[in-house]
Amino acid sequence: MSKVIANMSMSLDGFIADPADGIDQLFGWMGNGDVEVPTAVDWATFRMTPASAAYMREGMARVGALVTGRHLFDVAQGWGGTHPLGVPIVVVTHEPPADWPHTETFTFTDSVESAIALAREAAGDKDVVVASAKIAQQCLDAGLLDAINVDQVPVLLGSGVRWFESLAKSPVRLSNPVVVEGNGVTHLAYAVQR
């Protein structure tokens, strides 16, 4: 059965970006190895350690759609029209871009509930990944998340964008993690307990 999974790289002190939305300190693990992991775009081929590469390949193979927020969409400049995962993207926003040309792979909607429903439909029997702090928080509060995957990076940013800063419904209980040790990262996969 398909799952809705929030996934982010995160510093040890809980930040997914620095105060200026920078992520350079958090994604070094995607280029610190010898195993090539291609994606759907030429500009994003990763070079990882064997453990991280196996983890990434397995995860990417299960993804059928991605949900994000307008802020990340804007910061990433819409990934140039194609996300590295090469799957349909649903963007939660109250103000869709007026002249976005990539409507074959991008859908815009105004609520997390409709975004998850649209993404599930697009994903079929594959997983839906939520890649946005605020949208992941809203999905968790709405009971829509099945799992949280953290790529824990051994760095302390001290400040920035927290992943789960404003939960309306807490505490949230998680399962024991599945742990994969990489180089410069520990991959942690938790099921959300209901």
Q: What is the CATH number of the domain that holds 58?
A: 3.40.430.10
What's the predicted TM-score (pTM) here? 0.93
Average pLDDT, consecutive stretches of 10 residues, N- to C-terminus, the chain (194 residues): 94 95 94 94 92 96 96 92 93 92 91 97 97 93 96 97 88 96 97 94
Q: What is the pLDDT of residue 183?
A: 94
143 — phi, psi (to 5°)? 75, 25
Give the domain range for residue 82. 4-191
Q: What is the pLDDT of residue 101?
A: 87
Split into its structural domains, the chain has a count of 1
Q: What is the pLDDT of residue 142?
A: 94
Q: What is the pLDDT of residue 95?
A: 93
Looking at the DSSP assignment, which residues form a beta bridge with residue 107?
A: 90
CB 80 within 8 A of CB 40: no
- Exposed/middle/buried for 99, CB within 10 Å: 0-12, 13-18, 19+? exposed
